Amino acid sequence: MRNLAFLSLLALGVLLPGCVLLEDGLTGARRRTDCSREGARPQRPRGGSALPGLDAAADTTLWICAVRFPEGYDWQRDTAYGSIPFELVLYKDFAPVLTLPSGPEACFTPDPARHHLLEGHLYTERFQDGQTRIGRDGVELCRFDGREMLAGLLEDGGDLYTLSRPGPGPGFSFRKNGEVLLQDDRGVLFGDLADPSYGPGGALYRDGGSIVFCYRDAASGAGRLVADGQEQAVPHSAGALDLKRRDGRMLPLPATVAGLQLEEGRLWPEEGGFAVTGRFRDAARGSYTGYLPVGAQSARVLCAEEAVTYSTPGAGYAVAARADGTVRRYGPGMPADVVSAHFPAPTCAVTLGGRLVLALTPRDAGAHPQVHIGEQVREIPLNGYISCVGVSLPN
């Protein structure tokens, strides 16, 4: 779990060289301002999920965002990147329902780190003309001065709350509809939109009817809670690796859990307690990526290498994107083979129905993006890549 944002950017650098530069504008892109919805609502079989291989409720929905380039353009070679138009396509249970064409006025880029799926909506970020723009389904919601990256998103009625950071170091801004409510130059947020343990809204979430997030002071390491805009100190949180509030209780993750030493870790609140994933220290192995179930006294080894971790009650998963361009999957029901593919962001996987749903884009020229559910594979027929996946659960 170490440095999820770094893992995302590293993989993105392999996938899309120069992608960060494109946030200042898509020069030469074909201008189109239309936004079309396509495809009918998919019909689900009665009494079960529409998604193969998953024991999920019938009204659980899998959402997929993909970046589509014109046929014949070899986007993996990056020969004309920035001058070629693209489209963002939103899929609902593998059926396309929204297409957003690129253009100078678009509030999105092809950068997977700036695509976010929440409750069936596609939220996007774009830095342009000295401002950060936030959009939903291709429509701009707000903008503010400066270049910042979102760490949390939450809609409450007609209001949009955001948490954003100016860079990888300390500092954050908490905003409502683009207006600053709270700002701290020394605060380091717990969680972000690329951290699977924090859910689709990232570091910003609801608990007990309140809008909350947690951060630590960069100097002292002490944790703080912000609930409905009001700050308070969190006792016994100095040095915590993770800090969440669930059902009104503060849950700091110390560096030692059940007698096990952690280098990096994340809490996964569950009924009856919480699970832990991260890098565990071991005198024999040095360290390993592992999963500690609720109430357990020993961790399960997922893999030796550093990886992005995911948890579902009773099972832990890990996905390792390697520097050689391959991806390795670990966990129950996952094939142990090494795949030559792009895994550009931790948000390209999600747990659903007790399984890991993993989106990979093969590096083979002409191959289509794939969604892996256990050993089953579904292809997305487009020339491009999957940038993120998400789930909306029954109410």
CATH number at residue 72: 2.130.10
SS3 347: helix
Assess contact for 206 and 212: CB atoms under 8 A: yes
Per-residue pLDDT tens digits of the chain, which is 395 residues long: 433 332 333 333 333 322 322 232 222 232 223 333 333 333 333 344 555 555 555 678 999 999 999 998 888 886 555 678 999 999 999 999 999 999 999 999 999 999 999 999 999 999 999 999 999 999 999 999 999 999 999 999 889 999 999 988 899 999 999 999 999 999 999 999 999 999 999 999 999 999 999 999 999 999 999 999 999 999 999 999 999 999 999 999 999 999 999 999 999 999 889 999 999 998 777 899 999 999 999 999 999 999 999 999 989 999 999 999 999 999 998 877 899 999 999 999 999 888 999 999 999 988 999 999 878 899 999 999 999 999 987 76
Q: Note the pLDDT of residue 77.
A: 83
Whole-number pLDDT of residue 384: 95
Bridge partners, 318 (sequence order): 309, 330
CA distance linking residue 100 with residue 294, whole number of Å: 42
For residue range 166-225, list pLDDT tens digits in order.
Answer: 988 899 999 999 999 999 999 999 999 999 999 999 999 999 999 999 999 999 999 999
Query: What CA dihedral angle connects 193, 275, 261 and 215, to 10 degrees?
Result: 40
C-alpha span between 329 and 382 (Å, rounded): 24
Length of the chain: 395
Give the tens place of pLDDT for each residue, 68-103.
999 988 888 865 556 789 999 999 999 999 999 999
What are the CB-based long-range contacts (under 8 Å, 24+) for 126-133? Answer: 126/23, 127/23, 127/24, 128/23, 128/24, 128/25, 129/25, 132/164, 133/107
DSSP code of residue 15: H
**What is the domain range of residue 99?**
4-392
- CA distances 22 to 15, 113, 168, 344, Å, are 14, 13, 19, 17
Distance of CA 9 to the CA centre of its chain: 12
Residue 347 one-letter amino acid: T
Give the Cα separation of 100 and 107 in Å (integer): 10
Which pLDDT score is estimated for 58? 60
b vs e for 304-319, b when ≥16 Cβ sit within 10 Å of the residue's Cβ? eebbbbbbbeebbbbb
Domain count, the chain: 1
Distance of alpha carbon 87 from alpha carbon 100, whole angstroms: 5
